[in-house]
Amino acid sequence: MSSTYYDVPLLKPPVWTWEVPAYFFIGGAAGGAAVIGAIAQWTGANGNLARDARWIAAAGAPVSAALLTADLGRPERFINMLRVFKPQSAMSVGSWTLSAFSASTAAALVPISAISTTAVPFSAVLGCGMLTYTGVLIGATAIPVWNAHVRTLPIHFAASGMASAAALLTVMGHDDPAINRIALGAAAVETLMGASIESNRAPVSEPLRAGLSGLVVRTGGVLSGPVPLLLRGLSRSRRARQAASIAALAGSLLTRIGWVLAGRASARGESESHARRQDD
């Protein structure tokens, strides 16, 4: 028996192109930068650190919107998602979060203290949403491998986004101890996430370990977890921290790509499994 119903797949694989994992990556890094920028300002840390973090957030927000719009195909589709706010829809919440985040990060750059002082905490709160909502978005679908990890994906993506933000700031020349601690914490969480994925031997998680998707997920996990954890934790060299940052950025991007590929493999596998059960 066919794995389709009147030539329509029983479970449609995600048709996202490269724009979506890039959007996940850039949006996560922007959200993390907004959080770091707010913390740096509130604690009275290096003013240049807060400024650069706010610029990363403000630059990442419109790029994220452009990537999402490009994947949707027509700009009006993104605008249509803003017509009605649906709290039960992760896509609706995410679209509103992205729009509000873009506005708040831009306002945080305004050289008028009354405006920026108000905008910074809003951008930090919305940055937390940017860090986590994409994990919620894919977990709240019928794709088996995504849905099976619905509780850990937001944590996974949040740690990856914070790691990316800290890595970008390190590459820009910020070598503050606080940035190193944030990066170490994110790498530790990513290492635990990788171990959790490897120890999960359930058939539904097979795309995270096998095939092209498994290779990409595993490579991303190593680059965003153990590699920066060891480089930052065991070496006091600034060059090592720079190398850790490059590894973390590559790992974060590969992680997003790997999860999208795993979703495609999982959907195909579920349709084929359903067809075999029908044949039996």
Nearest-Å Rg of the Cα atoms of the chain is 20
SS3 for 153-182, per residue?
Answer: HHHHHHHHHHHHHHHHHHHCCCCCHHHHHH
Predicted local distance difference test score (pLDDT) of residue 279: 47
| Residues of the chain where predicted confidence (pLDDT) is lower than 70 | 1-12, 73-92, 270-280
Predicted local distance difference test score (pLDDT) of residue 268: 84
Are 155 and 193 a contacting pair, CB within 8 Å?
Answer: yes
Question: What is the domain class of 11-274 according to CATH?
Answer: mainly alpha
pLDDT tens per residue across span 166-206: 999 999 999 999 999 999 999 999 999 999 999 989 999 99
Predicted local distance difference test score (pLDDT) of residue 224: 97
